[in-house]
Copies of this chain bind each other. A is one copy, B any other.
């Protein structure tokens, strides 16, 4: 197996981008990544996208974006794993280069969510769950997260405001990220006063919809060592799954896929949780942040929220998370999110994260989660310097 490096990153501003269509956003990100890598071509393009068919009646994004990014007749495919589609595309790019078949590929995550009817949007988001056993009963994705959060609060005897540090940290860190959807610090009072979406989940627990695109240029380690001084290396890329419907899981508060994916990644990289300098986790809700920290070995069951209360998730803490705003405040353009997470790790590993820089960052982990946790994809990256 060849080793794989990332030599270019590109991100667009996240938010309501009514003047840019899906293809424009994606091409902006791809061109920025190619420029950052100082290359003008690629052998393949892997696109992470969740719902372009539902939102903009456009499938076949591989061919569309290879065409609009002027990449020629190259291999181009789309990968989907609900909200983990971005990391799925990175995983595919990693496989292509690791196989020795290709040596220079582009990965792009893109989602255009704000140009659609809210009813279509809710239905489309529910397609990440079991359509026949969950969505068909009227359960929405946020409502099912709310059931889980209520159960967590009951099981571990915690209250809603115990989750506040995750949202406050995310919003604070987004202030230093020019691509973030929100540039607005929030207080504990704001968190307590936020309108309810699905009790107990409020507007400040959950990531909103957004448009955005991010891209990466991957190449063989050999090529990177020859031609790129700022390459960052992929030390692990692991996909794992769990039962899709919540009612099928033995313990819905344990993210089995996140656990398996992270621990296989630790094995692949030959490290443990204590070696991770920063962790971009999938805080689609504050609850998911807590569950991810627990599944990945940073806290015992039921104690994930403590890391927030103790300030360990801050930029100077023992395990900084949502360092550029996370899903909550950087934004969550579904299929693009996993690519943003890895692009942000690279900003830190290169020492280019500006005011948000995690000091001496050498090893970063990102975890992208599909739906309620049925898919989890973990990447571990390392800077060689």
Query: A227 an interface residue at 8 Å Cβ cutoff?
Result: no
Query: A116 an interface residue at 8 Å Cβ cutoff?
Result: no
Query: A228 an interface residue at 8 Å Cβ cutoff?
Result: no
Residues of chain B with a CB closer than 8 A to A92's CB: 77, 79, 92, 95
From residue 256 to 286 of chain A, which have CB atoms closer than 8 A to chain B?
Answer: 256-257, 260
Residues of chain B with a CB closer than 8 A to A260's CB: 73
Q: Is the CB of A59 within 8 A of B241?
A: no
Q: Is the CB of A56 within 8 A of B239?
A: no
Chain A contact residues: helix, strand, loop or mixed? mixed
A50 CB, min distance to chain B CBs, angstroms:
7
Among the listed B44, B82, B91, which residue makes an inter-chain contact with A59, where contact means beta carbons less than 8 Å apart? B82
Q: Is the CB of A60 within 8 A of B370?
A: yes
From residue 88 to 135 of chain A, which have CB atoms closer than 8 A to chain B?
Answer: 88, 91-92, 95-96, 98-101, 123-124, 126-132, 135
Task: Flag A216-243 by CB within 8 Å of B: 1 or 0 each.
Answer: 0000000000000000000000111111
Query: A66 an interface residue at 8 Å Cβ cutoff?
Result: yes
Residues of chain B with a CB closer than 8 A to A81's CB: 60, 62-63, 76-78
Query: A321 an interface residue at 8 Å Cβ cutoff?
Result: no
Among the listed B76, B82, B98, B257, which residue makes an inter-chain contact with A99, where contact means beta carbons less than 8 Å apart? B98
Q: Is the CB of A77 within 8 A of B79?
A: yes
Q: Is the CB of B76 within 8 A of A79?
A: no
Nearest chain B residue, comparing its CB with the CB of A125: B59
A243 CB, min distance to chain B CBs, angstroms:
5
From residue 44 to 94 of chain A, which have CB atoms closer than 8 A to chain B?
Answer: 44, 50-51, 53-54, 56-64, 66-67, 73-82, 88, 91-92
Nearest chain B residue, comparing its CB with the CB of A58: B131
Task: Flag A139-158 by CB within 8 Å of B: 1 or 0 each.
Answer: 00000000000000000000
Chain A: interface size category: 35 or more
Report the separation of the CA atoms of residues A81 and B73 in the bound assembly, to the nearest whole angstrom. 14
Q: Is the CB of B131 within 8 A of A75?
A: no
Residues of chain B with a CB closer than 8 A to A59's CB: 50-51, 80, 82, 127-128
Q: Is the CB of B77 within 8 A of A239?
A: yes
Query: A248 an interface residue at 8 Å Cβ cutoff?
Result: yes
Residues of chain B with a CB closer than 8 A to A56's CB: 131
Q: Is the CB of B73 within 8 A of A241?
A: yes
Q: Is the CB of A248 within 8 A of B67?
A: yes
Residues of chain B with a CB closer than 8 A to A73's CB: 240-242, 256-257, 260
Task: Flag A309-353 by CB within 8 Å of B: 1 or 0 each.
Answer: 000000000000000000000000000000000000000000000
Report the separation of the CA atoms of residues A123 and B78 in the bound assembly, to the nearest whole angstrom. 20
Q: Is the CB of B51 within 8 A of A101?
A: no
Q: Is the CB of B240 within 8 A of A75?
A: yes
Query: A375 an interface residue at 8 Å Cβ cutoff?
Result: yes
Residues of chain B with a CB closer than 8 A to A98's CB: 99-101
Report the separation of the CA atoms of residues A56 and B129 in the bound assembly, to the nearest whole angstrom. 12
Q: Is the CB of A99 within 8 A of B88?
A: no
Q: List 6 A-B contacts (CB under 8 A).
A: A1-B100, A23-B132, A64-B374, A74-B240, A77-B80, A79-B79
